[in-house]
Amino acid sequence: MSKKILLEHAHIEGIRFYETYRKNGGYRSVEKALKMSPDDIVEEVKKSGLRGRGGAGFPTGMKWSFLAKPEGVPRHLVCNADESEPGTFKDRYLMEFLPHLLIEGLIVSSFALGSNATYIYIRGEYAWIPDILEQAIAEAKANGWLGKNILGTGFDCEIYVQRGAGAYICGEETALIESLEGKRGNPRIKPPFPAIQGLWMRPTVVNNVETLAAVVPIINMGGDEYAKIGVGKSTGTKLLSVCGNVNKPGVYEIDMTISVEEFIYSDAYCGGIPNRKKLKACIPGGSSVPILPANLLLKTAKGENRMMNYESLADGGFATGSMMGSGGFIVLDETQCIVRHTMSLARFYNHESCGQCSPCREGTGWMYKILKNIEYGHGKMSDIDLLWDVQRKIEGNTICPLGDAAAWPVAAAIRHFRDEFEWHINNPVEAQTRNYGLAHYADPIHVPTV
Amino acid sequence: MSEQIKVTIDNITVAVAPGTTILQAARQIGGEVTPPAMCYYSKLEGSGGKCRTCLVEVSKGSEKDPRPMPKLVASCRTPVSDGMEVKNITSPKVLDARAGIVEMLLINHPLDCPVCDQAGECHLQDLSYEHGASSTRYEFDRRTFEKEDIGPYIQLHMNRCILCYRCVYTADQLTGKREHGVLDRGDHAAISTCIGKALDNDFIGNVIDVCPVGALTDKTFRFKNRVWFTKPVDAHRDCPTCSGKTRLWMRGDEVYRVTARKDKWGEVEEWICNTCRFDKKQASDWKIEGPSKIDRHSVIAQGHYEGVLKPQNFLPEVIGRNPKLLMNIHDVSGVNKNDIELSKLNGPAHSSDFDKK
Ligand SMILES: Cc1cc2nc3c(=O)[nH]c(=O)nc-3n(C[C@H](O)[C@H](O)[C@H](O)COP(=O)(O)O)c2cc1C
Ligand code: SF4
Ligand code: SF4
Ligand code: FES
């Protein structure tokens, strides 16, 4: 079912500006929250079951409760708006159209965590959005929601917007913190975790844009009510950014009870695959998560319908499942070539590795080169096993999860589409002219009838 | 004295101070049990965690929380807990991962040791000798950079760099100025100076000593001699800038090179200044103490008859018995047993003939 909580007012003319936003119920959660104790807010967020929307899906309330609170040391909240994962563009939509929703969430969360200086670290390529955010911050401040002694509670809070300089790795929370401190964006070696030593070695919470925006409805309706939306441990609503071969790409808000099939084919969402083509494969949660062939996407290995939620998408582990990830839903129809697609992801990770640790620095380049060979007709059969072995040597052996994120797409492509790789190697000339892979992976169930 | 905690590495238990890393605990044991470390440097704050050669398996987290750690961890940056059990050479997973790391470190390395000045004292050479494969699966062009002089004394040959960041921390922590760092990222990252600036402060020569490979070399020594033909002796002089305690690399009476003294983990004991390192190349500049102690496994030990340190063999303790041949022919087969007279057998001997008695 389509359920709009975050995007409820997104269609309203002028919602980007304070007056309209406030008239539509904006900043109510701040009024409510600032009368509560910070611990009670954390408790509400815990009850809501909200899970981090940045990719890992870690329970937000739990993360907040880990924050160290040493006497006399300032704490910080950092909003991760670096959104650079290929296929993911939901935060951009939120910030562009509902900047005040994010600011509102940030004020409540800052109060809960005791952060007097809160930062939004935004992807450099989102060049026009900092202005939007800064305008919203200025409006909020002019109306007494930010600054000194907010609503007479004695709570002070400033929000600063910092632009990144074009590095995917600066979305990794410790690299983000380094970058925010003005250093090279290399991920830190953990432990210590940011909750103990983060920004300027102070206790810090880093959360995704959507996570922090979701705090607003949680406070407004109460954690228990929020937890009733969705299913199991997938509570609340989730934003998905859809791209690729669908009739209606874009950002959708769903409650996590619908099936993948409904999401792809229903007119309320993606509206099916264009040009009467069949569904071949899909990356359900941003470029880092494993790609699934159509049959495993729509049904789990057990034959159950696959649903759009954390548990169901991950059902079967990496052998037959994938992940909710960051919600970047990339759909490939029967004419898409998995080898080319995998190569292009490998190129991305090769380009974005920070280069600190040897397996990721060297391995990402190696994988890209092998894939390039296969794609351009110079591959050998042994390259497939080599590729498998290289990704295996990277996975789990690196400082930060970028190494894993580079390895997983390659592993999943080989796992599910091995004969497409073989076909490329056996048909080097055709593979280049035709430039698509084997259609037999395409969804056997759904032939759209128009 | 603070409380000591116990950690077991490859079946050998040591007591260490809380906060000790697994690597440091393993170094207290020594020998094969110690993971190789290409980036960690105990004297450089923040170093380690990058090369991943020191990965180990933690099979038991601690006495309190015995759960194993889900992934291999960098021993150089992971503190021990009481009752922790660690597997290094006893873990096939570790050996497999390490072989992978060594392969990664080598795919873009020039492998032209015969013309590299570091050969003979290169940690990457030692590492690949001990953990690497004999051939490569990498079939692409290696990444190349131009050689670069950074300052009058040091040459940077980026092709050989393994991006361990040791020189970056050294330049940062010894010299107060931040003019030496890493540019760009991923496999195109490069060590550089800000920007193309000559490094000429008093202690910058130490970056040569910390570099595990031949990426940073001493221009006053380059190609003058192979290190294993020179003889290391410990020497000192009264130096107004540093401790003046150095190691001279001599041939006959000639001083070819001056470096800091290094301990058995290849780490500098005391930093030395540029004057000692680059300008004092006469034996008469120095008071010579005697031959340096050198590990036996090092190539430098060849032709070196005094002060060679024999590494301790820990294998019996690690595997709980003396190492033996995989199959002892005397136990398995009766061929060598005296009580069977082969000449009396009718035709060729079969194993069944040996079972008879
Ligand atoms: C390479 C890499 C890139 C990441 N990029 C982002 C990002 O762009 N936005 C984001 O919110 N989280 C990103 N993350 C996840 C963050 O490290 C962190 O887990 C997240 O911001 C936590 O927020 P959450 O708990 O609200 O999900 C990235 C992680 C990695 C390893
Ligand atoms: S895994 Fe890659 S991106 Fe992450 S720290 Fe290592 S080299 Fe950098
Ligand atoms: S130049 Fe040497 S010390 Fe510096 S990062 Fe490279 S390998 Fe390490
Ligand atoms: S020595 Fe531990 S990672 Fe390099």
- CATH code: domain of residue A404: 1.20.1440.230
pLDDT exceeds cutoff 80 at B348: no
- Residue B117 sits in the same domain as residue B215: yes
Q: Do B104 and A351 touch (CB under 8 A)?
A: no
Give the distance (Å) from ligand 3 centre to CA of residue A401: 24
Final residue of a domain: which of B172, B201, B223?
Answer: B223
Q: What is the DSSP letter of B278?
A: I
Which of B82-91, B129-138, B253-262 has the lowest average pLDDT? B129-138
Final residue of a domain: which of A317, A333, A349?
Answer: A333
For residue B163, which residues of chain A lie inside 8 Å, CB to CB? 355-356, 358, 361
Does residue B106 lie in a domain region? no
Is B147's Cβ below 8 Å from some Cβ in A? no
- Residue B115 sits in the same domain as residue B219: yes
Reduced to 3 states (helix: H, G, I; strand: E, B; else coil), residue B171 is helix
Could you tell me the residue range of the domain that residue B343 belongs to? Answer: 325-355
Question: Alpha-carbon distance A157 to A109, whole Å?
Answer: 11
Amino acid sitting at position A351 = H
Is A396's Cβ below 8 Å from some Cβ in B? yes
Does residue A2 lie in a domain region? no
pLDDT exceeds cutoff 70 at A185: yes
For residue B185, which residues of chain A lie inside 8 Å, CB to CB? 167, 169, 352-355
Q: Do B51 and A357 touch (CB under 8 A)?
A: yes
Per-residue pLDDT of B145-201, as tens digits, reads: 999 888 889 999 999 999 999 999 999 998 777 788 999 999 999 998 876 666 668
State whether the beta carbon of A84 lies less than 6 angstroms from ligand 1: yes
pLDDT for the residue numbered A448: 45
Query: How many domains are contained in chain A?
Result: 3
State whether the beta carbon of A353 lies less than 6 angstroms from ligand 2: yes
pLDDT for the residue numbered B207: 94
Gyration radius from chain A CA atoms:
22
Question: Alpha-carbon distance B269 to B309, whole Å?
Answer: 17
Q: State which ligand 2 atom lies nearest to the alpha carbon of A353.
A: 3
Of the candidates B103, B138, B185, the beta carbon closest to that of A353 is on: B185
- Residue B115 sits in the same domain as residue B218: yes
CATH number of the domain to which B49 belongs: 3.10.20.740
Which of B25-39, B55-69, B101-115, B192-206 has the lowest average pLDDT? B192-206
- Residue B165 sits in the same domain as residue B130: yes
Q: What is the mean pLDDT of residues A118-144?
A: 97
Question: Alpha-carbon distance A245 to A243, whole Å?
Answer: 7
Helices marked H in A181-322: 209-221, 223-228, 260-265, 294-298, 310-314, 317-320
Does residue A222 lie in a domain region? yes
Q: Which of A96, A121, A92 is nearest to A106 (CA)?
A: A121
Which residue of B lies nearest to A168 if distances are taken between CA atoms? Answer: B185
Q: Chain B: give the shortest CA distance to residue A190, in Å.
A: 9
- Residue A85 sits in the same domain as residue A210: yes
Question: Alpha-carbon distance B114 to B92, whole Å?
Answer: 32
- Residue B293 sits in the same domain as residue B251: yes
Reduced to 3 states (helix: H, G, I; strand: E, B; else coil), residue A294 is helix
Reduced to 3 states (helix: H, G, I; strand: E, B; else coil), residue A283 is strand
Could you tell me the residue range of the domain that residue A250 belongs to? Answer: 234-333
Query: How many domains are contained in chain B?
Result: 4
- Residue A281 sits in the same domain as residue A164: no
Q: At B227, is the pLDDT very low, low, confident or very high (cuts 50, 70, 90)?
A: confident
- Residue A368 sits in the same domain as residue A264: no
Per-residue pLDDT of A403-436, as tens digits, reads: 999 999 999 999 999 989 999 999 988 888 765 6
Does residue A1 lie in a domain region? no
Question: Alpha-carbon distance B287 to B270, whole Å?
Answer: 17
Q: Do A365 and B55 touch (CB under 8 A)?
A: no
Q: What is the mean pLDDT of residues B207-212?
A: 96
Question: Alpha-carbon distance B326 to B337, whole Å?
Answer: 20
pTM of the full structure: 0.91
Give the distance (Å) from ligand 1 centre to CA of residue A43: 23
Which residue of B lies nearest to A170 if distances are taken between CA atoms? Answer: B185
Contact predicate B33/B10, CB 8 Å: yes
pLDDT for the residue numbered B340: 64
pLDDT exceeds cutoff 50 at A283: yes
Q: Chain B: give the shortest CA distance to residue A396, in Å.
A: 6
- Residue A29 sits in the same domain as residue A127: yes
Reduced to 3 states (helix: H, G, I; strand: E, B; else coil), residue B154 is strand
- The DSSP bridge pattern shows strands A230-231 and A234-235 to be antiparallel
Pocket around ligand 3: residues whose beta carbon is below 6 Å from it? B 161-167, 191, 210-213, 215-216
Per-residue pLDDT of A70-126, as tens digits, reads: 999 999 999 999 999 999 999 999 999 999 999 999 999 999 999 999 999 999 999
State whether the beta carbon of A238 lies less than 6 angstroms from ligand 1: no
State whether the beta carbon of A403 lies less than 6 angstroms from ligand 2: yes
